[in-house]
């Protein structure tokens, strides 16, 4: 059985599609004849500026690193190609990340770290507006981090990047990935400030073990010693206690259960 033929668009619908297509990409789609060029240019500028303003607020370092020309070209590609899943201006950066991850093919003159830098800047917005809240009533802020189960901050992200995104700036734009990955812990503290903590592989693995919420500090450190094939687990416990205390001081750990 053949598929039903799609109904032909009405005249006003064809006009709407032509109008919005030209707004998205004036070079690829002609302006509807009924609209004055000057007025159409005003519409395009207003919409483009609204999108760019929302992105500039979230990606200031990316804008400075790319420069005006490359940044403008990227935003125009996003504006022309991407079909957003949300009408909310606050979520435009979310859509931009989806565009970079799934739809955009960068030209050779764009830096190889661009997507990671964008994600690093975006995660600050994600955590700052997160609806999650820590329930401190269930936690003991002074209990033994080793013998009890450390409770991680619920507004927290453990991240790994090929490039040292926290150091990238207009003056530092690496062209090759370093030998060691960059591991970061990003969190929103109890004063609603976003904190960025650089981790080494050991502390990053410890945080990942604590994310389950099922292990005491001691159990997590002993498992870490086992994974490392460390000949003296007691040394890992002594060293790891310092890591736990630092995470607690930074509010990555808010207490114990």
Residue 28: pLDDT band by 50, 70, 90 thresholds?
A: low
Nearest to 244 by CA among 162, 166, 147: 147
Greater pLDDT, 101 or 85: 101
HSE-up of residue 251 (Cα within 13 Å, Cβ side): 16
Topology (CATH level 3) of domain 135-257: Outer Surface Protein A; domain 3 (3.90.930)
Q: Is the model's pTM score more than 0.95?
A: no
Residue 2: pLDDT band by 50, 70, 90 thresholds?
A: very low
CB 175 within 8 A of CB 109: no
pLDDT of residue 8: 76
CB 215 within 8 A of CB 149: yes
Nearest to 123 by CA among 162, 152, 85, 165: 165
Per domain, the residue ranges of the chain are: 11-110, 135-257
Phi, psi for 71 (deg, rounded to 5) = -60, -50
Q: What is the mean pLDDT of residues 90-94?
A: 94
Residue 85: pLDDT band by 50, 70, 90 thresholds?
A: confident
pLDDT of residue 17: 67
Q: What is the mean pLDDT of residues 7-11?
A: 69
Distance between CA atoms of residues 208 and 91, nearest Å: 28
pLDDT of residue 5: 53
Q: Coil, strand, or helix at residue 254?
A: strand
What is the rounded (10 degree) CA torsion for 181, 182, 185, 191? -170
Sheet of 182-188, strands arranged across: 156-161, 182-188, 194-199
pLDDT of residue 217: 96
- Residue holding tokens 């904190």? 195
pLDDT of residue 218: 96
What confidence tens digit (pLDDT) does each residue in 129-167 have?
999 988 888 888 877 999 999 999 999 999 999 999 999
Share the mean pLDDT of the chain.
Answer: 89
Asked whether the domain spanning 135-257 has the same topology as the one spanning 11-110, the reply is no
pLDDT cut 90: percent of the chain above it: 69
pLDDT of residue 38: 79
Asked if the model's pLDDT at residue 193 lies above 80, the reply is yes
Greater pLDDT, 83 or 202: 202
Q: Which residues pair with 253 in a beta bridge?
A: 152
Tell which CATH architecture fits domain 11-110.
Answer: Orthogonal Bundle (1.10)
Residue 82: pLDDT band by 50, 70, 90 thresholds?
A: confident
pLDDT cut 70: percent of the chain above it: 91
User: Can you say whether the dihedral through the CA atoms of 55, 59, 60, 63 is positive or negative?
Assistant: negative
Asked if the model's pLDDT at residue 13 lies above 60, the reply is yes
């Amino acid at each position: 059985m053949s598929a039903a033929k799609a109904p032909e668009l009405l005249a006003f619908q064809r006009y709407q599609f032509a109008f919005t297509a030209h707004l998205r990409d004036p070079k690829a789609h002609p302006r509807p004849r009924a609209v004055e060029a000057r007025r159409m240019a005003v519409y395009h500028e207003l919409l483009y500026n609204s999108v760019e303003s929302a992105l500039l607020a979230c990606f200031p370092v990316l804008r400075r690193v790319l420069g005006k020309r490359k940044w403008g070209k990227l935003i125009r590609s996003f504006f022309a190609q991407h079909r957003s899943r949300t009408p909310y201006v606050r979520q435009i950066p979310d859509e931009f990340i989806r565009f970079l991850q799934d739809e955009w093919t960068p030209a050779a003159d764009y830096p190889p770290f661009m997507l990671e830098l964008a994600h690093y800047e975006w995660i600050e917005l994600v955590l700052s507006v997160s609806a999650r809240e820590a329930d401190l009533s269930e936690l003991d802020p002074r209990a033994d981090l080793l013998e009890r189960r450390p409770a991680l901050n619920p507004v927290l992200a453990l991240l790994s990047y090929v490039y040292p995104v926290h150091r990238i700036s207009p003056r530092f734009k690496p062209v090759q990935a370093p030998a060691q990955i960059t591991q970061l812990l990003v969190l929103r503290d109890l004063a609603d400030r976003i904190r960025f903590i650089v981790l080494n592989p050991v502390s990053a693995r410890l945080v990942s073990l604590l994310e389950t919420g099922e292990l005491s500090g001691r159990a997590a450190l002993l498992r870490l010693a086992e994974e490392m094939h460390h000949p003296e687990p007691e040394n890992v416990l002594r060293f790891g206690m310092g890591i736990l205390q630092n995470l607690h001081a930074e509010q990555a750990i808010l207490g114990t259960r």
